[in-house]
Structure 1
Amino acid sequence: MTAVKIIKVLGTSEESWEDAAEQAVMEASKSVDDISGIEIEDWTANVTDDAITEYKATVEIAFPVHDSS
C-alpha cells in the first residue's frame, strides 16, 4: 500500500487561473519529488478598477510518501 501526502499551495499569475495553477505546481516541484496529481480547491482573483489584476489558484498537490529505510 502506498501512502500519499497532500499539501496546499497558492499559485498566482497575471495571465490566467490555469497559469496560476501551473505556477503552484512548478514552485512545489522545486522541493517535492514525484508529484502524482493535483486538485484545484479554489479560484480567486484580485480586482482593480473593474479588471482582474491577479489570478489565484489554491491547489492541493499529492505525492507518495517514501519509506526512509
Structure 2
Amino acid sequence: MTAVKVVKVLGTSAESWDDAADEAVREASKTIDDIRGVEVEDQTAKVEDGEVTEYRATVEVAFPVHEEQHAQ
C-alpha cells in the first residue's frame, strides 16, 4: 500500500486560472518529488478598477510518501 501526502499550493497569473494552476504545480515541483496528481480546490481573482488583475488557483498537490532506506 502507498501512503500519499497532500499539500495546498496557491498559484497566481496575470493571464488565466489555468495558468495560475500550472504555476502552482511548477513551483511545487521545485521542492516536491514525484507529484502524481492535483486537484484545483478554489479559483479566485484580484480586481482593481473593475478589471481582473490577478488570477489565483488553490491547488492540492498529491505525491507518494517514500520510506527511508536505513543503512544496516
Question: What is the TM-score with the length of structure 2 in the denominator?
Answer: 0.94
Deviations 1:3-62 (A, max 9, x none): 000000000000000000000000000000000000000000000111100000000000
Q: Percent identity?
A: 67
Bigger-Rg structure (1/2): 2
Paired with 1:55 and 1:17, the residues of 2 have a C-alpha distance of 5
Match of 2:67 in 1: 67
Mapping for residues 1-69 of structure 1, pairs under 5 Å: 1-69=1-69
RMSD of aligned residue pairs (Cα, Å)? 0.4
Paired with 1:17 and 1:61, the residues of 2 have a C-alpha distance of 16
Question: What is the TM-score with the length of structure 1 in the denominator?
Answer: 0.98
SS of corresponding position for 1:61: strand
Matched positions, count: 69
Paired with 2:68 and 2:14, the residues of 1 have a C-alpha distance of 40
Residue identity opposite 2:12 in structure 1 = T
Structure 1, gaps ≥5 residues long:
none
Residue identity opposite 2:13 in structure 1 = S
